[in-house]
A and B are shown apart, each in its own frame.
Chain A
């Protein structure tokens, strides 16, 4: 079964600091995609960043970057220069095969303090 594990239920970071959220996954597939989604209090899920497994280069989107370790099946999200608006639930997700359906982890709640 495909699983996604986020071992940190909650994290806290001070404004302007850097924080890393962890994610591990389990798959026997060689080609797959990994995602980080953000869910603010408004509830709507928003894509933060996406990584294709066959690309060795880590994806980056402005202050957000990933550390993708394929052999270790690890996909962590680094948020640099944290802002108050980054406070949200962050979900790691994964898909493979022939469909775009996503399997989600349990989420990490990020608090940003002044």
Chain B
């Protein structure tokens, strides 16, 4: 079985550019999560979806960030315009279980560097 697939693995861009990160969850998983990992703040939940519907986006830093899940097999996290402080590793994870206790399966992450 393929795991959670994220692209790109690495992205280097200049301040002000639009960045789109992509995620394909594990087939059959109903919940999808976007996390951001930095040295200063650790792992932060940005947003999560249940059955393609955004449930909690309280972790999205500001209006420059947006996330979509147009169908059960694809999600995007967009940053427009990007800033140097957005540099981080962005993880997508999916879970078969919507309630608590479910294992989250993580992708390999997308390392974003904004110059």
State in angstroms the CA–CA spacing of A31 and B50 once bound together.
21
Contacts of A52 in B (CB 8 A): 101
Min distance, Cβ B53 to any Cβ of chain A, angstroms: 12
Range class of the B interface residue count: 20 to 34
Range class of the A interface residue count: 20 to 34
CB of A99 within 8 A of chain B?
Answer: yes
- Which of A44, A45, A91, A97 has a CB less than 8 Å from the CB of B100? A97
- The A-contacting residues of B in range 25-45, CB under 8 angstroms, are 31, 33, 42-43, 45
State in angstroms the CA–CA spacing of A100 and B56 once bound together.
12
Closest A residue, CB atoms, query B9:
A43
* One of A16-24, A57-65, A68-76, A101-109 at the interface: A101-109
The number of inter-chain residue pairs (CB within 8 angstroms) is 62
Is the beta-carbon distance between A101 and B42 smaller than 8 angstroms?
Answer: no
Is the beta-carbon distance between B104 and A102 smaller than 8 angstroms?
Answer: yes
- The A-contacting residues of B in range 57-115, CB under 8 angstroms, are 89, 91, 93, 95, 97-104, 106-109, 111
Closest A residue, CB atoms, query B3:
A44
Contacts of A42 in B (CB 8 A): 108
- Which of B42, B100, B106 has a CB less than 8 Å from the CB of A95? B100
Interface string of A84-106 (1 = CB under 8 A from B): 00000001000111111111111
Contacts of A97 in B (CB 8 A): 100
Min distance, Cβ B47 to any Cβ of chain A, angstroms: 10
Closest A residue, CB atoms, query B45:
A101
Closest B residue, CB atoms, query A98:
B99
- Which of A44, A50, A104 has a CB less than 8 Å from the CB of B101? A50
- Which of A44, A98, A107 has a CB less than 8 Å from the CB of B108? A44
Contacts of B100 in A (CB 8 A): 31-33, 95-100
Contacts of B103 in A (CB 8 A): 35, 47, 50
Residues of B participating in the A interface, judged by any CB pair closer than 8 Å: 31, 33, 42-43, 45, 48, 50, 55-56, 89, 91, 93, 95, 97-104, 106-109, 111
